[in-house]
Amino acid sequence: MARWRIWRPRSRAVPFLSLLLLAPLVFTGLKAVNKIGLSSERNYSRGHVTFVTVFTTYNSDPAEASKLPSNVVTVGKHSYSKVGRSMAILNTFIGFIQVSMPRSNVIILTDPNSKLTHGSAVILPIEGNYSRGNLMLQRIRSYIAFLEQRLEELETVEDINHLIFTDSDIAVVTDLGHIFEMYPHCHLALTFRNNKGQPLNSGFVAVRGTRDGIFKAIEFFKEVLEAYHLKYMEASRMLGDQLALAWVVKSYLPSAFSKFSKHEAFTVYNWTPPEGAGQFHGMPLDVK
């Protein structure tokens, strides 16, 4: 059964980076999912994993605010302002992690001007330009700044915390710590998307929390940032990072994408419900 495959690309600018590409979702409905084997019964709750996300709100920016009507979103009996809705989504993201991985932490990288506070997540302000048009670029910069900080901390503290960088509008439904246990040689893991143009999901990057893993992840993100600057600045503000990510991976592993374009059974890590009102009818059971 084709599940995860590990490549060890030849060293170039990122020396000996071991990249684990987690399988993509083949969205052909539940039939495809039935072919996927059951995951192992091992108990992975020992893993110490920190989730890292970039989140900011725009209420403090009068220029942004004036462009938008003060629209209120109603979900069931609750009404939310734009900011209230963003916070509700963030809280849901954190709530899922607390249930699925109760021993893990959440760190929110944010604009120092955002005045964000949170009861159960660590807020880490990082200088930068978090305007909407720049957010995807800034996200990579914030990741790099955070990782450089972690690398310095590792000089004095030898606690290994694996890192998972994610979007903040996802629901973590199972313990992902096993990625680091089952693939002890991987430094960095990415997930595929079922989309030819953007075959990798920039919304999920797992980084081994060792000095080696963090050092190499910094070099990797720097290459993605460079590719973004050089090649994809014209791309839509939402897509540039995904295109740059795919470009960098492809430059090391030309064969990676063709292997995964064969629609075989694999382990599904990221699953997106069909878009549109009333489209959500539950999630395939095997989704990680």
Residues at the interface with ligand NAG (CB under 6 A): 43, 45, 129, 131, 133-134
| Minimum CB distance to ligand NAG smaller for 142 or for 166 | 142
The minimum distance between CB 129 and ligand NAG, in angstroms, equals 4
| Minimum CB distance to ligand NAG smaller for 43 or for 71 | 43
Which residues contact residue 29 at a Cβ distance below 8 angstroms, ignoring those fewer than 6 apart?
Answer: none
The minimum distance between CB 237 and ligand NAG, in angstroms, equals 8
Q: Report the interhelical angle of 240-252 vs 211-231 (nearest 10°).
A: 120
| Minimum CB distance to ligand NAG smaller for 61 or for 264 | 61
184 burial via Cβ count (<10 Å: 0-12, 13-18, 19+): exposed
- DSSP character string of 170-209: ----S--THHHHH-TT-SEEEEE-S-SSS-EEEEEEEE--
The minimum distance between CB 94 and ligand NAG, in angstroms, equals 21
The minimum distance between CB 5 and ligand NAG, in angstroms, equals 28
Give me the residue label for tokens 């992840």: 217
Three-class SS of residue 114? helix
| Minimum CB distance to ligand NAG smaller for 68 or for 157 | 68
